[in-house]
Amino acid sequence: MMRRSVLDRAPAGARINVTPMIDVVMCLIVFYLMVGQLALNRAAGVRIPQTAAGGLAAPTSGDPIVIAVLPDGALMLDGEPIAADRLTGELTGRTARRPDARIEIRADRNASYGLVRPALTAARNASIAEVDLVTERGG
Amino acid sequence: MNTRFQRRSILDRAPGSGVPNMTPMVDVTLVILIFFMASATIAGPEWFLRAELPEGRPTSALALPSPVVRAEVFTRDNATLVRGIGPERPIEDAINAIAAMDPSTADGLVVEIQTADETPYAEVVRLHAALVDAGADVRLR
């Protein structure tokens, strides 16, 4: 017996309705765009420390500049690895372009303070007066 | 007249039945539901601890105006200790003391934290959070 395709089985003149597929595909595209943006701001491999209280519950302004400090002391700026000696220059440039941007520091909970210090020093050298240390609610 | 481009109502689109086709709406609703569940997991609940970054060399304790307290955080014998916020003591005791403080005492207070390199970052952040929760402003040296 010969196999029949989907189109063969359809009544004459019927067409496949692609509207639901387009709806879902569009939603998926939006989903990946938004999650990609979120993931960019949360550097992979960083488990931020937990605190029971304190601080602002939500960011007060738009997209922040994110400095991540990995457990081995490696630095990332907005999701891209960066050497400590280049961080000040990069921060200076980015804050000049976006003077209202907040600076977030996402350092790993297992890092020692000495590994976080280069990020703070670079921010200070870039004339940044305030940073936000990001922690997880809990603990 | 060519009826090919005539507008059709939503009811006409459901073949035969006269009932609106709910399938696309259900599809989209489910995708949006999954999106919110996934983004809530990724984003997670977070705190943002504001820290000032003063320029220049650390100010001597004597030169500081009265509302500024200089705290030193360091480790000794695998214990993290705090000096400057009351007597030298384990960080846990200092955090408990800060939490028990009268809110009016810490309000407007500036605490300048000087931390030794080997101190666990998570411990410093816990102290920082306790101070912010008590109403103090924190500077990191």
**Binned average pLDDT, 10 residues per bin, chain B of 141 residues:** 56 62 82 78 77 67 63 91 90 90 78 92 92 88 82
Residue of A nearest to B23 (CA): A20
User: Do residues A112 and B119 lie in contact, with contact meaning Cβ atoms separated by under 8 Å?
Assistant: yes
The residue with greater pLDDT, B130 or A17, is B130
Quick one: average pLDDT of A116-122?
Answer: 94
Distance CA B114, CA B134 (A): 19
pLDDT of residue A52: 80
pLDDT of residue A40: 59
DSSP letters, A13-59, are T-----HHHHHHHHHHHHHHHHHHHHHHTS-TT--PPEESS-SBSS-
Kindly state whether residue B130 falls inside one of the protein's structural domains: yes
pLDDT of residue B68: 83
Phi, then psi, of B51 in degrees rounded to 5: -135, 135
* Residue ranges covered by each domain of chain A: 20-55+62-137
CATH code (residue B102): 3.30.420
Residue A72 in contact with partner chain B when CB distance is under 8 A: no
Output the average pLDDT for chain A.
Answer: 82
Specify the CATH number for A20-55+62-137; select among 3.40.190.10, 3.40.50.2300, 3.30.420.270, 3.90.1150.10.
3.30.420.270
Quick one: average pLDDT of A17-30?
Answer: 81
**Strand, coil or helix: A8:** helix
Residue A16 in contact with partner chain B when CB distance is under 8 A: no
CA distance B87 to chain A (A): 22
Kindly state whether residue B105 falls inside one of the protein's structural domains: yes
Kindly state whether residue B100 falls inside one of the protein's structural domains: yes
Quick one: average pLDDT of A38-47?
Answer: 66
Within A41-126, residue ranges assigned H as helices are: 84-97, 113-125
Instruction: Please list every residue in chain B whose beta carbon sits closer than 8 Å to the beta carbon of residue A71.
Output: none
**Measuring CA to CA, how many Å separate B83 from each of A25, B101, B114?**
58, 17, 10
pLDDT of residue B81: 93
Kindly state whether residue B45 falls inside one of the protein's structural domains: no
Number of domains making up chain B: 1
Kindly state whether residue B57 falls inside one of the protein's structural domains: no
Q: Which amino acid is at B2?
A: N
Give the B-side interface with A, CB within 8 Å: 23-24, 27-28, 31-32, 34-35, 38-39, 42-55, 73, 115-122, 124-126, 128-133, 140
Instruction: State the burial class of residue A71 (Cβ atoms within 10 Å of its Cβ: 0-12, 13-18, 19+).
Output: middle
Q: Is the pTM for the entire model greater than 0.90? A: no
* Cα end-to-end distance, chain A, whole Å: 67
Encode A44-57: b = buried (16+ Cβ within 10 Å), e = exposed: eebebbbbeebbee
Beta-carbon contacts of residue B137 (< 8 Å; ≥ 6 apart) = B50, B52, B108, B109, B110, B111
Diameter over CA atoms, chain A: 79
Q: Which amino acid is at A49?
A: P
Kindly state whether residue B36 falls inside one of the protein's structural domains: no
CA distance A4 to chain B (A): 24
* A49: nearest CB among B51, B54, B125: B125
The count of other CB atoms within 10 Å of the CB of residue A79 is 14
Residue of A nearest to B13 (CA): A17
- Residue B132 and residue A54: Cβ atoms within 8 Å? yes
- Domain residues for the domain of B127 are 68-140
- Residue B125 and residue A112: Cβ atoms within 8 Å? no
Kindly state whether residue B9 falls inside one of the protein's structural domains: no
Residue A76 banded pLDDT, cuts 50, 70, 90: very high
Q: What is the ipTM of this complex?
A: 0.71
